[in-house]
Amino acid sequence: MKKITWRDRLRYAFDNTLMGGTAAIIGWLALLSIIVVLVVALIVWLGRIGPDDADPLSLNEAAWASLMRTLDPGTMGGDSGWRFRFAMLAVTLGGIFIISTFIGVLTNSIDNKLDDLLKGRSRVIETGHIVILNWSEHIFTVLRELKLAAGARRDCVVVMGDRDKVVMEDAIRERVGSGGAVRIVCRSGDALELNDLDIVSLDTARAIIVLSPDLAEGDRDAQVIKTLLAIINNPARRPAPYHIVAELRDPRHVAVTRLISREEVELVVAGDLIARIIAQTSRHAGLSAVYTELLSYEGSEIYLADQAGLAGKTYQDALFAYAHVTVIGIARPDQPPRLNPPAATLFEAGDRVIVVADDARDLQPAAERYAIDEQAIRVQPVTPQPPDRTLIIGWNWRAPGILEQLDSYVTPGSAVTIFADAEDVHAIERQTPTSLARLTVQVQVGSTTDRRLLDALAIEQYRQVILLCYDNMPPQQADSRTIVTLLHLRDIASKHDYHFSIVTEMLDVRNRHLIELMRPDDFIVSDHLVSLVLTQLAEVQELNEIFAELFDAEGMEIYIKPVSEYVKLEAPVTFATLVEAALRRGETAIGFRCQSSKSGDSKQRGVTLNPPKADVVTFGPRDRLIVIADS
């Protein structure tokens, strides 16, 4: 057995000191300084040495003199007496070694700390902040919406991705901008590593957003699920539940995610959400602008508020209780929210009111109930919709979900024609849902960018066209093909004066702005809407149940119906009169859409949400009322 020498013990102690970090090294240097000072002070005191041998120093004075010369070598310049000079020279040389070592250690520690800051590896010291995990194109929309939601409120958003901190900060500064009340802090790390998650201080965060990461290879949903496991099953996590909002791509992964979420996670399933929005917006021109405004923090959005003054009053009373707020439902404790309940439904103690408002501060009761123009109301019964004919151009993994959603909305006898490239035929046959009860599906094969084939489709017979991106090619190439097809369709409609709406799917949100707003009834669908929903749920967790109701074919939904079914045309009416007319059909009016340029918001395709009750508008035959109803 090898004998352990004092050198080995010294080397082991030195290695342990280095492993202890800067604080341990400084502690050992301080101890060494004390030893040097005390040893020299004892020598001076026992040897009765002083600046003048006739006046030796006491132990205290000797220790003080040694300490001063350890800290400042220049102090010994005025010493006298050779024995005293040699003693002070020894302690000064020791001080020079110790101080120089201390400066080197401190400088190296500061450099390392600066490197950690530049690499984004330092711990965030924040409370009440929002954490965004995983880097994705969605992050820019989420950050913009969080800044709008904060307003003048000081807030902090911490972003952790697998990229360099400086790269992330530059991208955010370029796409989102700098300044404002919201501070954006970036950290580099892996959301699957517990040590990296500790950097962003999850235990003190008020909300955690888990994005589906941008991956060249691999299952994006698997990354999200593993991230949720790392957060929820962390042995050092806080006892209180987290507020987590997570994005999944495929609805098939929802069940397994629910098993691990422990009711701490609000899931946003991108594929299912986009399929529902495409199905709804394809049937109601202008509905796209309604959803965009409700989901964004620009304009009007949905709020839940405690209003004790409504207790004992009916839903009908609440509809006219506010001048600048539109009431749409009731939220009761431990119950799902009720949108557009019966007019006689009473508010109970503890109930919250669900409203559409520009700002939560607008919830100020009106001084008196608004006058209703009874002469203007012309309520007509709900007319059944005729069978639809829909054209779907292109095919991808979301198409089966769109067919299922369309089947829930249309009347029996409706038909869908799918026009896609030849290589997609087998996928269409294999993936087309077999449970369609109201739709019949016909498939035509051809190049979706060939103008001759598009002309031969007889597009005038369709009420709406859904244009899907291909998922078997890179996103930019798929968007390019979609744009070419869309331009052909618009040209066909313009030359032949055909009237049909087009709902177009885009993969890259940046391409959406290239072709947007060229026709008022067109809508560009992209994952941009998913980002808006993620932000809304991060701010208000309870909104998830409300959105689920609005996007579900079996619940209360948003419809855009002719104004002529409610009031007389070409006569001025207040919005309060429209609210009363809709109430008599069991519906809740939330706005209107004017085709004329004189009314409505031109930036939102003529859509105006939550107008003041006293606003007076004159409607024409093409104008529409926006309501929440069950059919």
d(CA 156, CA 340): 36
Q: Tokens at residue 85, please?
A: 């000079």
Which stretch of DSSP H or E encloses residue 175?
helix 165-175
User: CA of 84: how far to CAs of 38, 74, 75, 78, 94, in Å?
Assistant: 15, 15, 13, 11, 16
Report in angstroms the alpha-carbon separations of 433 from 251, 254, 412, 437, 541: 15, 19, 16, 10, 33
487 backbone dihedrals φ, ψ, rounded to 5°: -65, -40
Euclidean distance between the first and final Cα of the chain, in Å?
Answer: 89
**How far apart (Å, rounded) are the C-alpha atoms in residues 299 and 601?**
11
Question: How far, in Å, CA of 415 to CA of 401, rounded?
Answer: 16
Q: Which residues of the chain have pLDDT under 70?
A: 1-30, 33, 37, 41, 44, 46-48, 50-55, 66-67, 69-87, 89, 91, 94-96, 98-100, 102-106, 109-120, 179, 216-218, 262, 367, 509, 512-522, 524, 596-605
CA–CA separation, 523 vs 511, rounded Å?
13
The neighbouring-strand residues paired with 184 are: 157
Query: pLDDT tens digits for 178-214?
Result: 767 788 988 888 999 998 899 899 999 999 999 998 8
The rounded distance, in Å, linking the Cα atoms of 75 and 90 is: 13
Q: Which CA distances in Å does 63 have to 36, 53, 104, 235, 372?
A: 10, 17, 26, 51, 96
> How are beta strands 439-445 and 624-629 bridged, if at all?
unpaired
Which of 580, 579, 327, 551 lies closest to 592, judged by CA? 579
DSSP state of 596: S
Q: How far apart are CA 39 and CA 456, in angstroms?
A: 103
User: Do β-strands 501-505 and 414-420 pair in parallel, antiparallel, or remain unpaired?
Assistant: unpaired
pLDDT at 460: 86
> In sequence order, which residues have a C-beta less than 8 Å from that of residue 33 and are 6 or more positions away?
70, 94, 95, 98
CA distances to 279, 403, 406, 554 from 441, in Å: 15, 9, 11, 22
Are 345 and 330 in contact by the 8 Å Cβ rule? The answer is yes
Residues 6+ apart with CB under 8 A from 14: none
Q: Are 535 and 145 within 8 A, CB to CB? A: yes
3-state secondary structure (DSSP) of residue 366: coil
Tokens (6 digits) for 309? 């003054």
Q: Which helix (H) or strand (E) holds 346?
A: none
Determine the pLDDT at residue 463: 85
Please name the residues in contact with 513: beta carbons below 8 A apart, sequence gap of 6 or more: none
User: According to the model, what pLDDT value does residue 600 have?
Assistant: 42
Side chain identity, residue 183: R
Contact 554, 408 (CB under 8 A): yes
Strands of the sheet containing 557-562, edge to edge, are 557-562, 624-629, 588-593, 607-609
Specify the DSSP class assigned to residue 325.
-
> What whole-number distance in Å separates Cα of residue 142 and Cα of residue 528?
9
From the list 262, 264, 263, the residue with the least C-alpha distance to 242 is 264
Helix (H, G, I), strand (E, B) or coil at 143: helix
Nearest C-alpha neighbor of 481 from the set 454, 442, 521? 454
CA distance 240 to 430: 46
Q: Give the separation between CA 181 and CA 184, rounded to whole angstroms.
A: 10
**Which is nearest to 402 in space by CA: 447, 427, 377, 439?**
439
- Give which of 431, 409, 412 is closest to 420, Cα–Cα: 431
**How much is the pLDDT for 519?**
57
